[in-house]
Structure 1
Amino acid sequence: MSIAEEQMSGLSAAEVARRVADGETNALPERVGRSVGDIVRANVFTRINAILAVLFLLVLATGSLIDGMFGLLIVGNSVIGIVQEVRAKRTLDRLAIVGQARPVVRREGRSQQIPPDQVVLDDLIELGPGDQIVVDGEVVDTAALEVDESLLTGEADPVDKQVGDPVMSGSFVVSGSGVYRATRVGSQAYAAQVTAEAGKFTLVNSELRSGISTILKVITFLLFPAGLVTIYNQLFASHQPWRDAVNGMVGALVPMVPEGLVLMTSIAFAVGVVRLGRRNCLVQELPAIEGLARVDVVCADKTGTLTENGMRLSEVIPVGDADEAELRRALAAIAAADPRPNASIAAIAEACPKAPHWQPTATAPFSSAKKWSGISFGVDGDWLLGAPDVLLDPDFPAAATAQELGARGLRVLLLANGDRPVDAPDAPGTVTPQALVVLEQKVRPDAAATMKYFASQGVSTKVISGDNAVSVGAVAQSLGLPGGDHPVDARELPTDTAELADELDAATVFGRVRPDQKRAMVSALQSRGHTVAMTGDGVNDVLALKDADIGVAMGSGSPATRAVAQIVLLDDRFATLPSVVGEGRRVIGNIERVSNLFLTKTVYSVVLAFLVGVVGIGAQIWHGRPIGYPFLPRHMTIAAWFTIGLPAFVLSLAPNAERARRGFVRRVLRLAVPSGVVIGVMTFIAYLIAYRGADESQAQRTQASTSALITLLIIAVWVLAVVARPWVWWKLILILGSVAGYLVLFSVPFFRHFFQLDPTNVAMTAVAVVCGGVGVFAVEVAWRFAERFGAGSDTSH
């Protein structure tokens, strides 16, 4: 073996082992952003847990362990959050192993696929179209290798790479093939973070999560003044014993804390990840679940998305007097000379396995820009294979035949001879057509149903393909897509964004679209306020996938597309997309319901605390009747059990097919705030009517608190009923179960004694029921008013 051959054979097993021992591997940080330890710490050491812990210690200081039951929320919140996030993490990690790019390395003269973290320094890595460059290196062999470095530099034009040129991780191969030697691996690579970030599990850049954050800020703003008023009134103005004063203060502050809101949001997202994982859908960025539910335009590539990747050579139609047997020999030679065949070449190679011993002298790999590839075989000719409508004069008879075949949904390539080497600057030169190569593509059986689903949901579909426009239109027509009979040739499209947006509004099917045009189309749609999802599997889709609001890649597509997409369909099933939309709608709709419940509780807690505090402080100033907070912490604990806690958990995971709408925060505030105010005011009125003064007996105090609690529970259960609309059987069971739970607590002597409840004063209980009925009526009016006059301000998708 010569020195050059030895250098190109790759590392030996001993050399690999030595580099692994020296730490010269491509080991990168764990794919998911947080380890199990990080997840535990993030769920235990939260601001809400800290507030509850302080209040819990205050209650323990009074010696009333029963009133400290809310401390179980600390444990419950933490355990549930940890379990769900770890579960989602494991699902993502398992799917990531299936979906990750696996580079081909050359070791001891043999090529083998390995995980990217097993690449070591000085490895020889083979490259082909669509391959992602996983480490930095230097090119040692090239066959017209062109690399797109736009993900690193922002420059969209492919860069021609010669021997000795550097290549950077995070870039990908557009056309050609080659081999490069790894020079920087792991954290030393120039853009190691790019590929890591492409698959990172995130909880950011989401309207839903930013809305929750806004709500929490509003609550925090309310907590301080309400808390200060409550603390002063309980400790200084109410003239209660210190234990009763502290318990009342804690009873007022605990329900102000939305202890389950963030938890329920995280659970809903995490369960969505797990559910989609079962469908072989890898969610690389969590907000993609929510984002796809808001999408109103889906741009679908034809090949590999609407049609299956595999193709079959249907026939070879000679042009003129060419001999079909000789043409098939030429096709076999072209296929055999291609080191990284695409789907078309692979189909030709399968049908024409007996290749002649022609020696390639020049190659021109296929690219989406020029729409043809070629190989020069010296004395055996310069052969071209590409799009008939690009290589042929439109007036040539074979062009009409190709058009007719394309109109039937077939893929047609032209086999031709050029008059100069294919790598010449002015290639292909004069083209002499030899044959039409007809390939059959099978439309995915689930594509039509998926298109129908999107149409029924008001989501428009644009088919954008690099193939012949007539062929793309035929596929679209077979799927029942409107506009398939009027496909547009993208070579005639304007470059101005506004004009391009007009064309996209008017048409549905586009053929002969260049990669830069796909990107421009996404931008044009976004300029009209559309939320755009782009699906694709080829290297020509990467830039559009990156710029779209949601990028969806096929699992069998190029590593570059999988790296930039937010969602990867590992089993290539286009029909999985409705499931992703469904999960997004479930998350958005259910978290809105849950947010209404938690925010309502916070509002009525703040209102009640303010009313009691202001009246109590006023009584101290004007020497009136002092008043303390009506509830013990245990009362607010049971109030949350069946109006918020259990119902919120069920509603956050329940099916929900409601259309996603903008304006999450505004909608939640306008529905929850009136309800909270009504509950707070009516509960305070019921308490004032039942209250007998600071010197009332313990029995009278218990009856007054019970009366106020009955009013609160009646209205809060009705809020739950309104939030749960539209009602179905399981929601009715949930609501009736909540009512039954409270009836048990108020009627069973053990529970009445344990929770200090006394509904035996018929007059007070009747007043409480009347106040509750008034509150129910007021809530219903407020909600109907909000629905009627607020719906027009929301934008549906």
Structure 2
Amino acid sequence: MTERTDTEVVTRNTGLTSGEVAERVARGEVNDVPVRSSRSTTEIVRANVFTRFNAIIGFLFLIILVVGPIQDGLFGFVIVANTAIGIIQELRAKRTLDSLAVIGEAKPSVRRDGASAEIHTSEIVLGDLIELGPGDKVVVDGVIEEADGLEIDESLLTGEADPVLKRAGDQAMSGSFVVAGGGAFTATKVGREAYAAQLADEASRFTLVNSELRNGISQILKYVMWMMVPTAVGLIISQFTVESHDGREAVRRTVGGIVPMVPEGLVLLTSVAFAIGVIRLGRKQCLVQELPAIEGLARVDIVCLDKTGTLTEGGMDVSDLRPLDGADPDHVARVLSALGASDPRPNASLQAIIDAYPKPADAVDGSPAPGWRCTEALPFSSARKYSGAAFNEPDGTSSTWLLGAPDVLLPAGHASLAEIDQLNNEGLRVLLLARTDRALDDPRVAESVTPYALVVLEQRLRPDAGDTLRYFAEQNVQTKVISGDNAVSVGAVAGKLGLPGAEEPVDARQLPTDQGAMARVLENGTVFGRVTPQQKRDMVGALQSRGHNVAMTGDGVNDVLALKDADIGVSMGSGSEATRAVAQIVLLNNSFATLPSVVAEGRRVIGNITRVATLFLTKTVYSVLLAVLVVCWQVPYPFLPRHLTLLSTLTIGVPAFFLALAPNKERARPHFVRRVMRYSAPAGIICGIAAMLTYLLARHHYTGSGSLDAETSAATLTLFLMEVWVLAIVARPYTWWRIGLVLAMGVGFVIVLVVPWLQDFFALKLVGTQMPWTAVGIAVAGGVVLEFVWAWVRRRDAA
């Protein structure tokens, strides 16, 4: 609260001059912290190239280059191609994110040469005078110069939930945000010297942390490394013992056994799938500030919505003014006009009043109307639910007025509340104009007020909100409307949109404070009104305590704490700078209807990566098993690197790219590692046993012929058919293109078998008819076993 005088207006700080700004720029005193939404190009290249598995594959590739022939080193070229694809896709995603970040970047108002102008945060210089209003984030450190009821929330920095009332001379910390009032501060620390500069930089990075998919894949890769080391050592000793007469052949067979153990494309395809998701959502004006948010929103089972700005559009209209107890309508209109003029940064409700009762054209600067003079102002706060101002009126009297929630300002049982409830039941928002005899700085200012009028506001429903609510209902995602408005009014709005349970709204003032009891009420209810900012945060925590994955949407400064604590925070692009700063997803087009696209994209990524991971890990399992069996039987490894490169390309590499990017509406489920291993482990074991059985029978069948190529070719045929069978299972449910994909891979293998130069290149030639048909028979038998095992695992997975 501040006293307003004409002197204050005249002597206000005019800020730096253009010359002073130029001097500071020349000295480098600029807020040069880059606004980053993604990793740098160097980081992207480094992350894709310098991986543990690329090092292993690269080392084996160099060995093959020494011992030859080059066709056994094809796996090295495949890795180069995969890495290049990963880099290109992530760079595309980076460009999308960077361009969206620029669009969504908030521009603080800076006063220079006595005039206010919006500039980029990177253009702020030391000593700039930066203006603040509700929802604005403090972008650099500074000292408060002007304070008009300025309340700043520093909870994101200090953990203290209560906002701090700021006065001239107080410190302003970067990373905090304004919850009420306005003012201005002088920048004392800019760039990387600012308190929250590094935190803000990290908060906007394109990252893959805290992702169940990424964490699960990392866990799988650890298991693979543990299996690879002892298996590879045993295989090396075995092959050099068996092939003691031919060291080069021993090297090739050893490399052929180690290379397929590495699920080299799994990390790549995960990154590509996420990157493609970012690009697709970017085209819909959806900024994903943290990459796992795509995955995270697909996993949520409860979406908490703030009514204003989400179900309704930001603007409102005054539909009716109802004076109470014989109040003069003209005087009421003048008071409303004065209240509107007293707040330099009005919220949506007050803006509607300003539009309906504008400041008179002949009003003197610094006064709300001719003869009116504002002496004190109390900005609106979502915690107290009202605003106010004190005036010297034209007749010389002094008056203090409050404008806010009727059920907060009026005592229970007041006669006007019945009329208000009826209006709320119609989905209208009602504000009470009341006069008080207490001073605005009195903590009891809202007690014993005299009601003067009801201001009836009509909210504008978003045309797409109803369809979006129905989408979430169809996807078994619960929707909770959490608002600071009157519960009955919120319920009426939600009811118009067809939200089940809206007819029984809950007043949050009646909610239990115990977390467990609160969670039970929240699970049973749908609409909650009169929720304070701290309660929103508590409600999110209560739902999370019951094992729910919670998404929170909002656009107001009162949503910041809840957005920060929710599993996924979603902010509207037109929302306050503070909400955009803490949210993982920003809807730049302000359309709530974009959320289903984010959910669908997340489900596509999760479902498809689960499919792809099954393919890759099936190969890893059978490769380890084959190595163990080879060591036990003391025979040459069945395959050369070129054979497994061919099989991996046709049954995993090419299909995986199509499957990873295909549509997938399957609901996301937890326990990624467990579910993938349930399928891939038995599939890999069956494939490995079938291939080894064929190989041992072929060695017996071709005894004395010295035709290792014939034995390898028979085993390769069985393994290919088994892998194609796994691919056919993973590709279900079938569509025309999935069937075509499986058939195309089969045709590709047949071409290799029938084209002479390809036969020679890949050392594949089926000898005779008995053994090739035996290989086919073993593959068919293995496929039948695979179907039974897969069906059994699916039943267990669904249980």
- TM value normalised by structure 2: 0.95
Please list, as runs of the form range in 1=range in 2, the aligned pairs for 1:224-235 lying within 5 A after superposition. 224-235=229-240
1:116 and 1:753 map into 2 onto residues whose CA distance is 64
1:27 aligned partner: 32
Q: 1:480 to 1:321 in 2, by over 3 A?
A: same
Q: Which of residues 386, 390, 401 in structure 2 aligns to 1:372?
A: 386
**Correspondence 1:241 to 2:246:** yes
2:566, 2:281 → 1: CA distance? 21
Determine the structure 1 residue equivalent to 2:52: 47
Equivalent position of 2:798 in the other structure: 791
Residue pair 1:11, 1:123 contacting (<8 A) in 2 also: yes
1:59 has 2:64 as partner: yes
User: Is the CA contact (8 Å cut-off) linking 1:234 and 1:240 kept in structure 2?
Assistant: no
**Residue identity in the other structure for 2:517:** E
1:693 offset after TM fit, Å?
Answer: 9.9
Instruction: Say yes or no: does 1:126 pair with 2:125.
Output: no
**SS class of match (1:381):** strand
Q: Equivalents in 2 of 1:240, 1:765: separation in Å?
A: 29
User: Hey, what does 1:409 align to over in structure 2?
Assistant: 427
In structure 2, what residue type is equivalent to 1:334? Answer: L
1:681 aligns with 2:665: no
Asked whether the 8 Å contact 1:703–1:761 carries over to 2, the reply is no
Quote how far apart the aligned CAs of 1:559 are.
Answer: 0.7
Indicate yes or no: 2:671 matched with 1:663: yes
Alpha-carbon distance between aligned partners in 2 of 1:377 and 1:774, rounded to the nearest angstrom:
91
Query: Which residue does the alignment assign to 1:590?
Result: 608
Q: Per-residue CA shift, 1:279-331, capped at 9, x if unaligned?
A: 11111111111111111111111111110001111121111222222222221
Report SS of the residue matched to 1:403.
helix
Task: Report the equivalent of 2:150.
Answer: 145
**CA deviation digits over 1:263-294, x for unaligned, max 9?**
00000111111111111111111111111111
Q: Distance in 1 between matches of 2:358 and 2:12?
A: 32
- Deviation string, structure 1 residues 760-796 (Cα, Å, up to 9, x no partner): 421110111111112111211221111122332xxxx
Q: Is the 8 A contact 1:362 1:421 kept in 2?
A: no
- After superposition, what is the alpha-carbon deviation per residue over 1:207-255, rounded to whole angstroms, capped at 9, x for unaligned? 1111001110111111112211211122223334122111111111111
Specify which of 6, 11, 16 is matched with residue 11 of structure 1: 16
Cα distance in 1 for partners of 2:535, 2:35 equals 36
Counterpart residue number, 1:774: 781
Give the aligned partner of residue 620 of structure 1: none
Residues 139-538 of structure 1: pairs in structure 2 closer than 5 A: 139-355=144-360, 356-357=369-370, 358-378=372-392, 379=397, 381-538=399-556
Q: Is 2:755 aligned against 1:765?
A: no
Distance across 2 between alignment mates of 1:643 and 1:117 = 50
Asked if the contact 1:311/1:439 (under 8 Å) is kept, the reply is yes
* Corresponding pairs, count: 781
- Which SS does the other structure have where 1:533 is aligned? strand
SS in 1 for 2:223: helix
CA distance in 2, matches of 1:333, 1:770: 90
Q: State the match for 2:3 in structure 1.
A: none
What amino acid sits opposite 2:376 in the alignment? A
Q: Secondary structure at the match of 1:513?
A: coil
- 8 Å CA contact 1:363–1:423 kept in 2: the answer is no
Contact 1:393 1:399 in 2 (8 A): no
Q: Aligned letter for 2:744? A: G
Contact kept? 1:56, 1:68, Cα under 8 Å: yes
Which has the larger displacement, 716-725 or 47-56?
47-56
8 Å CA contact 1:410, 1:441 repeated in 2: yes
Q: Is the 8 A contact 2:34 2:122 kept in 1?
A: no
Confirm or deny that 1:630 pairs with 2:634.
no
SS of residue matched to 2:374: coil
User: CA offset at residue 34 of structure 1?
Assistant: 2.4
Runs of 4+ in 1 over 4 A off after TM superposition: 1-7, 692-698
What is the match of residue 651 of structure 2? 643
Q: Distance in 1 between matches of 2:383 and 2:208?
A: 37
Deviates more, 1:256-265 or 1:387-396: 387-396
- Greater shift, 412-421 or 666-675, is seen at 412-421
Q: Give the conservation status (yes or no) of the 8 Å contact 1:745–1:751.
A: yes
Instruction: Output one character per residue of 1:513-568: Cα deviation in whole Å (capped at 9) or x when no partner.
Output: 11111111111111111111111111111111111111111111111111111111
TM-score by length of 1: 0.96
Quick one: which amino acid aligns to residue 498 of structure 2?
Answer: G
SS of match in other structure, 2:264? coil
Conserved? CA contact 1:239–1:694, under 8 Å: no
How far apart are the structure 2 equivalents of 1:739 and 1:54?
31
Distance 1:688 1:370 in 2: 81
Opposite residue 788 of structure 2, the aligned amino acid is V
Deviation of 1:197 after TM superposition, in Å, equals 2.5
> 1: distance between equivalents of 2:705 and 2:98?
62
How far apart are residue 136 of structure 1 and its match? 0.6
Deviation at 1:348, TM superposition (A): 1.3
Deviation by residue 1:154-205 (Cα, 9 ceiling, x = unmatched): 0101111111000100100111111111111111111212322322211011
Distance 1:745 1:413 in 2: 78
The code of the aligned residue for 1:761 comes to G
Tell me, in whole angstroms, the C-alpha distance in 1 between the residues paired with 2:681 and 2:91: 35
Q: Secondary structure at the match of 2:228?
A: helix
SS in 1 for 2:373: coil
Alpha-carbon distance, 1:29 to partner: 4.1
Match of 2:708 in 1: 701
Q: Is the 8 A contact 2:507 2:530 kept in 1?
A: yes
Deviations 1:670-720 (A, max 9, x none): 11011111111111111111115999556x221111100000001100000
Unpaired runs of at least 5, structure 1: 617-626, 793-797
Mapping 1:731-750, distance limit 5 Å:
731-750=738-757
State the distance in 2 between where 1:644 and 1:682 align.
18
Does 2:727 match 1:720?
Answer: yes
Describe the SS at the equivalent of 2:437. coil
Amino acid at match of 2:638: P
Cα distance in structure 1, aligned partners of 2:413 and 2:70: 92
What is the rounded CA distance, in whole Å, between the counterparts of 2:323 and 2:10 in structure 1?
42
Residues 563-602 of structure 1 aligned to structure 2 (within 5 Å): 563-602=581-620
**Could you tell me which residue of structure 1 aligns to residue 365 of structure 2?**
none
d(CA) in 1 for partners of 2:389, 2:149: 11
Separation in 1, partners of 2:137, 2:245? 71
SS in 2 for 1:34: coil
Matched-pair contact (CA < 8 Å) for 2:702–2:711: no
Q: CA contact under 8 A between 1:538 and 1:558: conserved in structure 2?
A: yes
State the identity %: 57
Q: Is the 8 A contact 1:261 1:598 kept in 2?
A: yes
**Residue identity in the other structure for 2:718:** T
Q: Aligned residue for 2:565?
A: 547
Following superposition, the deviation at residue 428 of structure 1 comes to 3.4
Where does structure 2 lack aligned partners over 5 or more consecutive residues? 1-5, 361-368
How far off its partner does 1:3 sit? 12
Task: Report the residue type matching 1:541 in the other structure.
Answer: D
What's the counterpart of residue 690 of structure 1?
698
Give the drift of 1:4: 10
Task: For 1:173, give the aligned amino acid.
Answer: V
2:668 pairs with 1:652: no
Q: Which moved more, 1:660-669 or 1:197-206?
A: 197-206
Q: Distance in 2 between matches of 1:443 and 1:696?
A: 83
SS of 2:381's equivalent in the other structure is coil
Q: Answer whether contact 1:394 1:400 (CA < 8 A) is retained.
A: no
Find the aligned partners of 2:229 and 2:94 in 1 and give their Cα distance. 36
CA contact 1:368–1:514 (8 Å) conserved in 2: yes
CA distance in 1, matches of 2:390, 2:545: 45
